[in-house]
Amino acid sequence: MRVERRDCFHLIEPLLPLVEKPARYLDHEWGACEDQSGPFHVCMVYADVYEIGQPNLGIAILYNQLNSCEGISCERAYLPWTDMISLMRERSIPLLSLESASPLASFDVIGFTLAHELIMTNVLEVLDLSGIPKRSIERDEDDPIIIAGGPSAYNVEPMAAVFDAVLLGDGEESIKDVARRIRDLRSEGASRAEILSSLAGIQCVYVPSLYEKVVDGTSTRWGYAVPIAGFDAPEVVYKRCEPDFAATEPIAQRIVPYLETVQDRLSIEVLRGCARGCRFCQAGMTYRPVRERPMEQIVDATSKALATCGYDEVSLSSLSTTDHSQCKEMLEELGKVVDDKGIRVSLPSQRLDSFGVDMAAAVACGRKSSLTFAPEAGSQRLRDVINKNVTEDDLEFAARNAFRNGWRKVKLYYMMGLPTETDDDIRAIVETATRVLEIGREVVGKGRKSGITVSVSVAVLVPKAYTAFQWCGQLPVEEVRRRQALLLASAPKDRDIRISYHDARTSLVEGALSKMGRDGFDLILEAWKRGCRFDAWSSEFSFETWQEAARAVGLDLEDVACEEFPLDARLPWDHTSPAVSKGFLQREWRRALDGVTTADCTMTSCTGCGVCQTLGVANVIQGERS
């Protein structure tokens, strides 16, 4: 029987004085949708705390799209922090939506955004708090349909037992198609099985229950998925791609939160997709092709939004904002909008080969804090392996322009554990950072008053599905630690160079979850049962508990994460595709080993990735690319 839909805020209200940040649980923020009459109700869930999930652009887009549909209302929910979870469990209070404080189990559809692999135990925590069976096969006819999407949906197999349906790719139209299909079929009295079978007929919708695992001589030990005989499900589910990006809403994030969030700024997506082809980058493959939003639309929408939201910063978000063909002109026009208003225009990260003198001057509008560049590798040899397509001269030129235009703090992002990496490549990280510091002191001057600092952050490569490195094994923990020690030992005794690196153990768990097939759910479930949740939080992550869970289900985390796959093997995720061909990725892997780079197709010609031909789409460039 369906859980009754009712306002249960009175159950939560007495708990607010007992928890930290009670504003996490308050509704009626400015800009939230007030009309939740339905009658068909969807709840979009970001399975982390409010201040992490509220700025998520994907949730905001889907929220707006669903609330624009007649007869459909969409609310939001987030995972409470551990103090509130404990109180809710003590008092048998179910997880509630934010807008109407209704139990999640009372909704028709619940949608999760899979932002990263470490969020998987949080998804189980959300379902358990809601009183919803964690396995799709255990749900009754009246239980909500549980769907998912997001960046980590391209290998959803470790969570295939959980989700009724998974949406691949752009969600603007597909989320409405799915909600309407479920609504119409339920009104007609269709069974749960009939609804899921029908959803499989929508482009981009993967229904895991219609597929089975096969392990044979062509597969890895994790097998691959094929449609079950008798079901009308596609052998390969391709993503949905929005061809006319200009037709989408430029400002998706309309809600102004009560408390400071991790991205406390107005965010506008200026382009979608990236064709640079970095061989480690999953997003660069799964979001293709490149579709730029027109400059005039960006400037107009930003001006109107700033007049109503009260933010003092605008973030031009994308995978590579400085690649926008009208970026310089756009920044100049936005500079006029924010002039003398104390509002800063920021870019998430700057391409080294795009950041010339004019770009530096344009970005200099508003307040200056720090600039972020991502060389990714210290040596030119290794940058060629990963297809970064930037040079030492690009880095020096960009750094000089930044310091000349008033910046004093530069952040540099690198990766460790890249294929063919040597100790010399590790030492080269320090050498490039030292050179950037020297350039800053040449331009600005030496001494403590100059304020010049260079921060170096080094992540561990986690090979991901649909990248050229998807066949690679991850670096073992002890080897990561050895290279991290070498990095620190190579650093000069200079307080103006600050080095940090990621926890090798967290990366190992992420790598294991990225590699596995359907059998991986046993590990995730066991880890959750043993208390794993908020695994992306260093304060909550327990590597020892994950190790215990792995042993309990007969696995070794390092053995899983560090396994190499044959280049011709059928992989666990081959059936959920962003339309990048395996042949293209195999070719990119071979070119990586040879140190041969591949050009950006928006600047030269087609490189044969297969996306445009398979999906019938094309790159959309507003101006001329240089």
CA distance 170 to 220: 29
Least confident of 95-104, 426-435, 444-453, 594-603: 444-453
CB within 8 A of 425, min separation 6: which ones? Answer: 377, 378, 379, 381, 382, 418
Report residue 360's pLDDT band, with 50, 70 and 90 as the boundaries: low
Report residue 263's pLDDT band, with 50, 70 and 90 as the boundaries: confident
The CATH topology of domain 9-238 is Rossmann fold (3.40.50)
What count of other Cβ atoms lies within 10 Å of the Cβ of residue 130?
23
CA distance 60 to 191: 30
Q: What is the b/e burial string over 433-461, where b = at least 16 CB atoms within 10 angstroms of the residue's CB?
A: bbebbebbeebbeeeeeeebbbbbbbbbb
Instruction: Decide: 111 and 43 in contact? Cβ < 8 Å.
Output: yes
- The whole-number average pLDDT for the span 362-368 is 60
Instruction: Give the residue, 439 or 356, on which the prediction is more confident.
Output: 439
Percent with pLDDT over 70 in the chain: 96
Residue 340 has pLDDT above 90, yes or no: no
Residue 362 has pLDDT above 70, yes or no: no
Q: What is the pLDDT of residue 359?
A: 67
Q: What is the pLDDT of residue 130?
A: 98
- The whole-number average pLDDT for the span 178-197 is 97
For the chain, how big is the Rg over CA atoms in Å?
24
- Length, in residues, of the chain: 626
Query: β-strand 453-460 against 165-167: which pairing, if any?
Result: unpaired
- The whole-number average pLDDT for the span 350-361 is 68
Q: How confident is the model over 124-168, as pLDDT tens digits?
A: 999 999 999 999 999 999 999 999 999 999 999 999 999 999 999
Residue 624 has pLDDT above 60, yes or no: yes
Q: Alpha helices, DSSP H only, in 68-156?
A: 82-90, 120-130
Q: Please tell me which of 224-233, 391-400, 447-456 the model is most confident about, judged by mean pLDDT.
A: 224-233
Q: What is the pLDDT of residue 626?
A: 62
Q: What is the pLDDT of residue 364?
A: 57
Instruction: Give the residue, 252 or 347, on which the prediction is more confident.
Output: 252
β-partners of residue 315 are 267, 346
Q: Domain locations in the chain? A: 9-238
Residue 262 has pLDDT above 60, yes or no: yes
β-partners of residue 316 are 268
Residue 367 has pLDDT above 60, yes or no: no
- CA nearest to 46, candidates 65, 23, 24: 24
- The whole-number average pLDDT for the span 205-234 is 97
What count of other Cβ atoms lies within 10 Å of the Cβ of residue 502?
18
Residue 348 has pLDDT above 90, yes or no: no
Residue 625 has pLDDT above 80, yes or no: no
Give the position of tokens 């068909």. Answer: 40
Q: How confident is the model over 372-398, as pLDDT tens digits?
A: 899 999 999 999 999 999 999 999 999
CA distance 277 to 597: 9
Q: What is the pLDDT of residue 339?
A: 82
Token readout for 79 is: 């995972």
β-partners of residue 73 are 41
Residue 352 has pLDDT above 90, yes or no: no
CA distance 425 to 27: 50
Q: Alpha helices, DSSP H only, in 271-422?
A: 282-286, 295-309, 327-338, 357-363, 380-385, 392-404
Query: Model pTM?
Result: 0.96
Residue 366 has pLDDT above 60, yes or no: no
CA distances from 328 to 237, 323, 331, 358, 501 (A): 38, 10, 5, 7, 33
- The whole-number average pLDDT for the span 518-539 is 98
Q: How confident is the model over 415-443, as pLDDT tens digits?
A: 999 999 999 999 999 999 999 999 999 99
Q: What is the pLDDT of residue 94?
A: 97
CA distance 462 to 447: 39
Q: What is the pLDDT of residue 361?
A: 65
Q: What is the pLDDT of residue 616?
A: 97
- The whole-number average pLDDT for the span 249-278 is 92
Residue 369's SS3 state is coil
Residue 365 has pLDDT above 60, yes or no: no
Q: What is the pLDDT of residue 155?
A: 97
Instruction: Decide: 257 and 50 in contact? Cβ < 8 Å.
Output: yes
DSSP string, 138-153: G--TTSPEEEEESGGG
State the average pLDDT for the chain: 94
